[in-house]
Amino acid sequence: MATIEHVLGDITEQDTDAIVNAANSSLLGGGGVDGAIHRKGGPEILDACRKLRAGHHGGGLKTGQAVATTAGRLKATWVIHTVGPVWSATEDRSQLLADCHHNALKVAKDLGARSIAFPAISTGIYRWPVEDAARIARAATENADIELIRFVLFDEKTLAAYRP
Ligand code: AR6
């Protein structure tokens, strides 16, 4: 069973083997966590994403799926890009948010990563209510087959929601 940590911080500073990017289906960058990762990790990450788009992921990455690239200049070895669902008040997209966590963990395991850092996927630009996202993330990461899962939360309110 994984050790699960909750810290206030910046995901781009993490020294875990892998960090998770809250990307969009284009894989070509954006704001929030995605912007910070590409800015700080440098152009190698975008190059790797472009190669994915030119290959297996020609149509982009579907919501809930995950794929890894180099982490460029970051301390982590890999960035695992996943696409969270946009919040909807009329449609239950919870399974897709759970899938992001499950699939990122699966990619991490296939890479041989022993530790992984997650941001609060979908709770920023995609507007998912933080308490609910935290509940889904918690359920999706319990019993994971990895040594360490670290949730890296950007503000106190999000930290309080994610911390059990
Ligand atoms: N480290 C940790 N958490 C952060 C950081 C950081 N450096 N920066 C922001 N957060 P968001 P989403 C928090 O918007 O909702 C992008 O444009 C932020 O406060 O990054 O899944 C993508 O390309 C919030 O709590 O991701 C997509 O288009 C959480 O990370 C879209 O945004 C997630 O916020 C994805 O939106």
Q: What pLDDT, on the 0 to 100 scale, is given for residue 39?
A: 98
Q: What pLDDT, on the 0 to 100 scale, is given for residue 164?
A: 83
Q: How many domains does the chain have?
A: 1
Q: Residue whose CA is closest, atom 28 of ligand 1?
A: 24
Our mutation pick for probing the ligand 1 site, out of 33, 63, 154, counting the most ligand atoms within 8 A of Cβ, is: 33
Please pick, among 34, 47, 99, 110, the residue that the annotation labels catalytic: 34
pLDDT digits (tens, 9 = 90+) for 97-151: 999 999 999 999 999 999 999 999 999 999 999 999 999 999 999 999 999 999 9
Dihedral angle, C-alpha 27, 41, 106, 147, nearest 10 ° = -160
Pocket residues: Cβ below 6 A from ligand 1: 10-12, 22-24, 30-34, 36, 84, 119-126, 152, 154, 158
At 1, the pLDDT band (50, 70, 90 cuts) reads confident
The residue written with tokens 């990307």 in the block is 23
The residue written with tokens 């875990």 in the block is 16
Mean pLDDT of 12-16: 98
pLDDT digits (tens, 9 = 90+) for 27-65: 999 999 999 999 999 999 999 999 999 999 999 999 999
Residue 58 sits in a domain whose CATH number is 3.40.220.10
- Per-chain mean pLDDT for the chain: 97
127 C-alpha to ligand 1 centroid (Å): 10
Q: What pLDDT, on the 0 to 100 scale, is given for residue 134?
A: 98
* pLDDT beyond 90 at 158: yes
Residue 136 burial (CB < 10 Å; 0-12/13-18/19+)? Answer: buried
Domain that holds residue 40: 3-162
H or E stretch covering 41: helix 32-41
